[in-house]
Amino acid sequence: MYAIDPRRTSSAAWADVWLGLDVGSDIALANAIGREIIHAGLTNRAFIERATTGFEAYRESVEPYTLEHAETITGVSASVIQELAHAYARADRAQVCWTLGITEHHNAVDNVFAIINLALLTGHVGRFGSGLVPLRGQNNVQGGGDMGAIPNKFVGGQDVENPEHRARFERAYGVTLPPKRGWHLSEMFEAMERGDLRTLYIIGENPIQSEADAHRARKLLTGLDHLIVQDIFLTRTAEIADVVLPAAASWCESEGTVTSSERRVQRVRKALDPPGGARDDIDILCELARRLGHPWETPTAEAVWNELRALSPWHRGMSYERLEQLGGLQWPCPHDTHPGSPLLHDRLWEDPVEGPSAPFMPVVFDPPVDRLTEEFPLRLTTGRRLDSFNTGVQTGGYASPMRRGETLDVSPEDARRLGVVEGEIVRVVSRRGAVEAPIHVDPGLRAGLTFMTFHFPEQVETNLLTIDAVDPKSGTAEFKASAIRVEKVCVQPALSAAGSAVEAV
């Protein structure tokens, strides 16, 4: 196992090799690996010829990324990059797993393309044990997209701008649907800025604390004509809403399904009665429809699911009965006896390939938007700790013995250089804002790299520092790369909080 992470996380500690690259240098690393595989003659030529397009353009695009050049960009030594390239290409089976370290960047989609290119180069895709594995950070982020809660898709990955797909939904519901995709989250904030979006209905999200550049998010949300928030808590976002609709917790106060990282649809069930006044999401939405003049009944979760199955070929074979019997099914599952699909893209191994070839997508390295300068010399990256989750709305509710609140984690080298000690409160300044936080010295960080979570916004509002430079293709902000400086706030150093454990993530 090779762990590629700017921080020496507990996964990195378990790996055979840790590549501690600089934040945002992923494309330089991937392209150098690709170039090395090509130059060493380790490509899967049969697979490339049969199943892909655009190899020549890719080969030319990676040519500038020599091992030495990649070493200067990434900070990882050329010999280690070479070793990884050879190990990946020679492996019988190899997977690349990634999560937000790849996707929370201004060039998130390019980062993903850079990884996909490596899988196409070696044929490590579409076979058992090989593959590309984007790990999901929430229990139903996959399901949300599959259910059409993204601006360009209907349920089951069907395209809003595809007339044939659209016609299916127009027929089913007897309405005309807009032929253009909608806005994603970042575009909604832009539309608020322009004044084109004046009313917002938020379900189960706390953007006032979770968005990058929190100052801007707060200003835009408070400037709306009308804000409705449906949530299980009176979150900070709900506090500024005109209307709050208290909801039941989907995973234990409600019936339904969620879809995991591996496309596995599983049943969630009601174990608890929600507190008084809180209602099931389906109940709220149908009641709202009735108030708006549509005579909707309140269907059961299973009836809603069956409606979805009628319209989504991916889910057609997933009755509640089968989901319960089999402990979940992975889509696509097109009919009632289909076993589900643990594997995707195996069509690339058919001869001749069924359907379109997989294109190489050449990409170029583009460093993080928030540049390091003398004024802002340190890189801040954000993420989670093991026992906490996102803005802490849920995990704040239990007494974790591992919790120690927000800290600015710095390397021992930087702590010495800055003259700061464990527990000392410092001022953290970025181009967008400043916060105060205690120092935690983490030997897992390299000099120049700092780390914070966003779990404790009531204590430290980390997202005042982060940048909302957004990837135009995915709409994701570059949470992973801000430029900061650290200022001392008190003359007397605080007492060292010795013995605090280094957290595992």
Site residues, another protein (CB under 8 A): 14, 128, 135-139, 141-142, 232-233, 249-253, 258-262, 264, 266-273, 275, 326-330, 339-340, 342-343, 386-389, 393-402, 499, 504
Element (DSSP H or E) covering residue 199: strand 199-203
Sequence-distant (≥ 6) Cβ neighbours of residue 392 within 8 angstroms = 455, 456, 457, 458
Distance between CA atoms of 414 and 306, rounded to whole angstroms? 57
Q: In angstroms, what is the minimal distance from the CB of 338 to another protein?
A: 11
Distance, first Cα to last Cα, the chain: 17
Q: How far is the CB of 246 from another protein (least distance, A)?
A: 11
Q: Which is nearer to another protein, 35 or 385 (CB)?
A: 385
Residue 136 or residue 440: which is nearer to another protein going by CB?
Answer: 136
**Cβ closest to another protein, residue 261 vs residue 298:** 261
CB distance 329 to 317 below 8 Å? yes
What are residue 488's phi and psi, to 5 degrees?
Answer: -75, 140
Instruction: Choose between 1 and 177: whose C-beta lies nearer to another protein.
Output: 1
What's the min distance (Å) between Cβ of 111 and another protein? 19
Shortest separation between residue 398's beta carbon and another protein, angstroms: 4
Closest contact distance (angstroms) between CB of 395 and another protein is 5
Contact call for residues 170 and 176 (beta carbons, < 8 A): yes
Distance in angstroms (rounded) separating the CA atoms of residues 486 and 409: 11
* DSSP strands (E only) in 313-420: 329-330, 358-359, 378-383, 408-410
Least separation in angstroms between residue 318's CB and another protein is 12
Rg (CA), the chain: 24
Q: At closest approach, how far in Å is the CB of 476 from another protein?
A: 16
- The nearer residue to another protein, 384 or 446, going by C-beta atoms, is 384
**Minimal distance, residue 172 CB to another protein, in Å:** 28
CA angle (13 as vertex; 102, 81 as ends), nearest 5:
55
Angle (deg, nearest 10), helices 185-194 and 214-222: 60
Nearer CB in complex with another protein: 393/441? 393
Nearer to another protein, 172 or 502 (CB): 502
Closer to another protein by Cβ: residue 149 or 167: 149
Please name which of 101, 97, 102 lies closest in space to residue 131, comparing C-alpha atoms.
97
* One-letter-per-residue 3-state SS of 93-144: CCEEEECHHHHCCCCHHHHHHHHHHHHHHHCCCCCCCCEEEECCCCCCHHHH
Give the shortest CB-110-to-another protein separation in angstroms.
Answer: 23
Smallest gap from residue 302 Cβ to another protein (A):
15
Nearest to 505 by CA among 3, 22, 11, 140: 11
By C-alpha distance, which of 219, 150, 6 is closest to 475? Answer: 150
Q: Is 170 helix (H, G, I), strand (E, B) or coil?
A: helix
Q: Who's near 473: CB < 8 A, 6+ residues apart?
A: 108, 109
DSSP-derived 3-state class of residue 308: helix
Q: Are 477 and 470 in contact (CB under 8 A)?
A: yes
User: What is the C-alpha to C-alpha distance for residues 6 and 450, in angstroms, rounded to an integer?
Assistant: 10
CA-CA distance, 35 to 61, in Å (whole number)? 9
Decide whether 108 or 258 has the Cβ nearer to another protein. Answer: 258
Q: What distances in angstroms separate CA 185 from CA 149, 162, 477, one per listed residue?
A: 11, 22, 10
**CA 222 – CA 410 distance, rounded (Å):** 35
Nearest distance in Å: CB 189, another protein: 25
Would you say 195 or 277 has its CB closer to another protein?
277
Cβ distance to another protein smaller for residue 292 or 399: 399
Look at residues 337, 334, 339, 340 and name the one whose alpha carbon lies nearest to residue 316: 334
- Pick the closer one to another protein by CB: 16 or 398: 398
69 or 403: CB nearest another protein: 403
